Structures are given as structure tokens and as C-alpha cells.
Chains A and B, each alone.
Chain A
Amino acid sequence: MNVSPDLDSRFREAALREGLVDVRYDVVDSPVGELFVASTARGLCRISYWPGGMEESLARTFGPRVLRSPLDDVRRELEEYFEGERREFDLPIDLRVAPFHADVLAELARVPYGRTETYGALAAKVGRPKAARAVGTVMNRNPIPIVLPCHRIVGANGSLTGYAGGLDVKLRLLQHEGAMLV
């Protein structure tokens, strides 16, 4: 006895309407591949290039009531970004990270579209000029890439160094934004 798509979506809508969901997620298409996106009642909490095991990861951080459901706002803003119509995201975000990570990500969010910044410079902005490597770790664990633009952070010599979605994606995002690359 299979649940029809209609019955299924009525259930998902009722669950959200009643506020019974800790975190909802969706998978959206983009020019850099499928993106796993997730949101709590407070805001966008995750973007991942790799959907495998993400439900479990969300359950551990936000609670077990994880439900798939369309995230239209997120989908739309990402589409606008990739179409070149959006330079800043207006989505509220829900970050649950350690204080140092929160400080670094807050500074990261201020790096403008189409510009790059070095790990060291970002470290200096949070008052830890010698913590370039620790800033690298924060970038590496950035829960909301693209929206929190860790692709704009590069090595001191201008090298791309690393990226969760792969260096080719980092390069593509920077080219898309028209960033001047050394």
C-alpha cells in the first residue's frame, strides 16, 4: 500500500504547520552540482556539496525531527546568485558553532562579492593575526558555504588552497563573481 505523493505532501505540510520539525532539508540543483540545503525555524543552517549522511548530521546538531520539505526561499536566492542577479543573501541563518568559529564566520560574511581575502587577513580581523591556520579550519568546517563565502578566502600567495566542494568549484564561484585572481 503506497502512500500517494499527495498524501505525503499533505503530511509534510501539516508537520511544518504544527511546528513539529527541528530541521527541514531539500536538495536543489545548481551549476556547481546538487546542493543539500537545510533550515531550522530560525534560518538556513546547512549547505553541503555532499548529501550522503547529512540527515544524521542534522539530527545530531538540531534534533531528530528531520524532514525533507521544499525550501523555496533558499532555492530562489541560490538561483538568483547563480544567475548573477544577487550579490548578497538575505536569508536569516542559524549558526550553531563555537564562539571562535562564530567570530570568524561573522567576519567572513562581510567579505564582499567578487573580492578575495587571505586567511591571515581574516585572522587579523578577529584579533588573532597569527591564527591563519585556525581560520583555515573554520573555513573547512563552514556549515553554510556559498552563503557564507569561504570561497573568497585564499592563501597568502593567492593560491586557492582548498574547498569543500573541490578547487574547481571554488575557482568557478570566484570566476562567476568576477574576482580578480592572481
Chain B
Amino acid sequence: MMEVVATEIPPFERFYLEHRDEVLGYLRRLLGPRAEDAWQETFLRALRAYNRLQHARNLRSWVFTIATNVAMDELRAKPQPPLDGAPGADLRRDAFRELEHLTDGLPPTERAAVVLRYGYDLPYAQIADALGSSEEAARAAASSGVRRLRRTHERLA
């Protein structure tokens, strides 16, 4: 059955209020202090494309896709500087917080895949959209990221 109501494009203001905070959180994880400019660019890109959207399905993964693209451009142009202090210095107990701290050392695609999967609970199909890759490649990026984190973590432990 078609659900007409569910696919009507919401007014941009509603879409924006719903997603602005989590997108900023995501970009902070990918870009640290450079997140704010990327956040603004993300929503400006979303706004530029918004009147051409054909349906309102998966708007959340759509905006994460844009944010990922903006972050990738940024990371390719200027790689993330290492954070102050040794990464292992203040590991917190919470599993993802531990990852979050360490993901700074990952290549951009792996970092985005790990953060989207474990930080935002996006399914692989939507992570694939965000990365512009196949679902298989998204899975591979996340698991390779996790393996890399584990190695880093073991080295530091």
C-alpha cells in the first residue's frame, strides 16, 4: 500500500529541526572543532536540493549522506590533526565513546562507516547511500575500521 502522507516532503523547517542536532554531533565526531562550518554547508546543500526531492523517504540517511560528503571533502583537503594527548589516555567505559575517541586515526571512509553504524545506528543500506558505495563496501569499511581500532587499542593497552 502507498502511504501518501508519509512521503509528502515536510516543510524544510521541520526537517531541519529534526536533524540539525544529530548532524552536528556526527560532524563533531568526524571533524572535531571544524564541524560547525561543515554543518552549515551540509544544511545549505540540503536546502539547495530540497525543492527537487521526489519523496520524503529516508530523509535522515539523505542528510547524513550530505554531511558525510562535506566531511570527506574537508578531510581530504585537510586531514584531521591528532587530538591532544595520547588517544589511550582517558578511555571511557562506554564502548562507543571509546571508539569515538579513537576514530580520529581512521581513514575518512572507515571513520564515517564506524560512526554511522555504531554512533547513529544506521543500517548498512543507508550507510552505503551515505558513502556512495555498495552495502557490501559499507560493511567492509565498518569492519575494517573496527579491526583497525582494535589494533590501535591493543597497541595502546
A residues adjacent to B (C-beta < 8 A): 1-3, 7-8, 10-11, 14-15, 18, 20-22, 55-56, 58-59, 63-68
B44 at interface (Cβ–Cβ under 8 A)?
Answer: yes
Beta-carbon contact of A58 and B11 below 8 Å:
yes
In this assembly, does B47 line the interface, its C-beta being within 8 Å of a C-beta of chain A?
yes
Contact residues of A: prevailing secondary structure: mixed
- Do A63 and B51 contact each other (CB < 8 Å), given the known contacts A2-B21, A8-B20? yes
Q: Which B residue sits closest to A10, measured CB to CB?
A: B40
A169 CA to B21 CA, complexed, in Å = 39
A-contacting 9-mer, from B22-30, B86-94, B108-116:
B22-30
Q: Complex formed: what's the CA distance from A8 to B43 in Å?
A: 11
| B40 lies within 8 A of A55 (CB) | no
- CB-nearest residue of chain A relative to B52? A64
CB contacts (< 8 Å) of A14 on chain B: these are: 40, 44
* One of A2, A7, A21, A59 near B9 (C-beta < 8 A): A59
Which residues of A lie under 8 Å from residue B140 when comparing CB positions? none
Q: What is the minimal beta-carbon distance from A4 to any residue of chain B, in angstroms? A: 9
Chain A residues with CB below 8 A from B53, complex form: 64
Q: Is B48's CB within 8 Å of the partner chain A? A: yes
Sorted nearest first, the 10 A-B pairs with minimum C-beta distance are: A1-B25, A66-B11, A55-B11, A59-B11, A20-B47, A64-B9, A3-B20, A1-B24, A65-B12, A11-B40
**Pick from A3, A10, A66, A67: contact of B24, CB under 8 Å:** A3
